[in-house]
Structure 1
Amino acid sequence: MNTTHYHTKRLFPFFLTFLLISCGLVLAQRPVQAQCGPLDVAFVIDDTASLGGSLSNIKAELNNILNDIEKASGNDYRLALVTFKDNVTVSEAFATNNRATIAPKIQALFAEGGEKVPEASDEALNTVINMLAASGRAQVGDFTPGFRERAYKMIILITDAVPGGFDDIYTVGIDDVRAHSFAVMAKEKNIKLSAIYVPTYAEDTAKVKPIMQDYATTTAGFYLETAQNGTGTATAIRTIISGCGSTSTTPTVGFGIPSEIKPGSVLFFNLYTSDPAKPNAENTQINLTNTDEQRPVIVRIFWVDSATGIPTDTFACIPATKHINMRASEIDPGITGYAVAIAVNLNGVPIKFNSLIGSSYVKMKTGHSAVLNAVSFAALADQPVEYTEGDETVTMKFDGAKYDLAPRVMNIDNFPSPLDGNSTLLIVNRFGGDLTKQNPVGSFGNLPSVFYNDAEKAVNVNLPGNACQTRNELKDGYPRVIPRFTLQITQGHTGWMRFSSGDGTAIMGATITYNPNSVRNGGKNLRQVALMDLEQYIIPVTVPVFTCS
Structure 2
Amino acid sequence: MHKIYRRTFFFTVALLALGCISLATRHAVAWQNDAPIVGPGIPNVGSQAPRSSASSTKAGSILFFQKYASNTQQPSNVNTAFTLTNTNPRDGVALRLSWVHDCRVDTTFTTLSANQTKTFLASEQNPNNTGYLMVMAVSATGIPLQFNWLIGTANYKDARGFEAVYNAVGVAKRSGGVARTNSEITVAELNFNNSDYDRLPKSIAVDNLQNQGTAGGGDPQSKTDVTVISPLANLATTTSQSLKIEAVAYDLSARAYPQVIDNACGLNAPVSSVWSNVNEFITPTRQAWARFGANVNNISAPVLGLSLTEGAAAPAGLDVRHSARPMQALSWLDSFKMTVPIVAPTSGAPSDPVTQSQPEAVGD
TM-score w.r.t. the length of structure 2 is 0.75
The one of 177, 181, 184 equivalent to 1:383 is 177
| TM-aligned CA deviation for residue 300 of structure 1 | 0.4
Q: For residue 544 of structure 1, what is the amino acid of its counterpart?
A: P
Partner of 1:425: 225
Take 1:441 and 1:349, find their aligned partners in 2: how far apart are those partners? 23
Instruction: Report Cα offsets for 1:480-507 as digits up to 9, x if no partner.
Output: 4xxx321210123311011211431111
**Per-residue Cα deviation, 1:13-38 (whole angstroms, up to 9, x for no partner):** xxxxxxxxxxxxxxxxxxxxxxxxxx
Query: Which residue number in structure 1 is paired with residue 326 of structure 2?
Result: 525
Q: Write the letter of the residue equivalent to 1:398.
A: F
Residue number in structure 1 paired with 2:137: 343
Sequence identity percentage: 26
- Matched with 1:261 is 57
1:297-340 CA-to-partner distances (Å, cap 9, x unmatched) read 101000001x2x11011111101111111211111111000010
Query: Structure 1 or 2: larger strand share?
Result: 2
Cα distance in 1 for partners of 2:346, 2:145 equals 18
Q: 5+ unaligned residues in a row in structure 1: which ranges?
A: 1-252
Which residue of structure 1 lines up, in the alignment, with residue 198 of structure 2? 404
Contact 1:273 1:335 (C-alpha < 8 Å) held by counterparts: yes
Letter in 1 for 2:167: N
Match of 1:493 in 2: 286
Given the superposition, is the C-alpha separation of residues 471 and 302 from structure 1 closer, same or farther in structure 2, using an over 3 Å criterion? same
- What secondary structure, in the 3-state scheme, does the structure 2 residue paired with 1:464 have? strand
The structure-2 alpha-carbon separation of the partners of 1:260 and 1:443, relative to structure 1 and needing over 3 Å to count, comes to: farther
* Aligned residue in 1 for 2:248: 450
CA contact (8 A) 1:424 1:473 kept: yes
Contact 2:245 2:292 in 1 (8 A): no
Contact 2:225 2:307 in 1 (8 A): yes
- 3-state SS of the aligned residue for 1:434? coil
Tell me if structure 1 keeps the 8 A contact 2:62–2:170.
yes
1:465 to 252, 262, 265: 262
- Deviation, 1:269, is 0.4
Contact 2:250 2:290 in 1 (8 A): yes
Aligned-residue RMSD, C-alpha:
1.9
Deviation by residue 1:23-60 (Cα, 9 ceiling, x = unmatched): xxxxxxxxxxxxxxxxxxxxxxxxxxxxxxxxxxxxxx
What is the deviation of 1:350?
0.5
Check 1:430–1:348 CA distance in 2 against 1; reply closer, same or farther (3 A cut): same
Where 1:409 maps in the other structure, the secondary structure is strand
Q: Distance in 2 between matches of 1:468 and 1:296?
A: 33
**Higher relative contact order, chain-length normalized (CA < 8 Å, sep 6+):** 2
* Counterpart-to-counterpart distance in 1, 2:85 and 2:283: 42
* Cα distance in 1, alignment partners of residues 120 and 241 from structure 2: 25
1:460-519 deviations in whole A, cap 9, x for unaligned?
Answer: 4123133223211112x5224xxx321210123311011211431111110001223356
Instruction: Using the TM superposition, give the Cα deviation of residue 441 of structure 1 relative to its aligned residue in structure 2, in angstroms.
Output: 5.2
Task: Tell me the alpha carbon deviations over residues 349-383 of structure 1, each in whole angstroms, 9 at most, x when there is no partner.
Answer: 01110000011111012111121210010000113
Contact 1:407 1:532 in 2 (8 A): yes
Cα 1:389/1:319, change in 2 over 3 Å: farther
Equivalence for 1:286: 82
Closer, same or farther in 2 for the Cα pair 1:465/1:428, shift >3 Å?
Answer: farther
Q: Is the 8 A contact 1:411 1:496 kept in 2?
A: yes
SS in 2 for 1:501: strand
Aligned to 1:355: 149
Residues of 2 paired with 1:255 and 1:372: CA distance?
23
Query: Rg bigger for which structure?
Result: 1
Distance 1:512 1:425 in 2: 5
Structure 1: distance between partners of 2:223 and 2:312: 10
Within 5 A, what are the aligned runs for 1:197-346? Answer: 255-305=51-101, 307=102, 309-346=103-140
* Equivalent position amino acid for 1:355 in 2: W
TM-score by length of 1: 0.50
Q: List gaps (5 residues or longer) in structure 2.
A: 1-48, 214-219, 315-319, 351-364
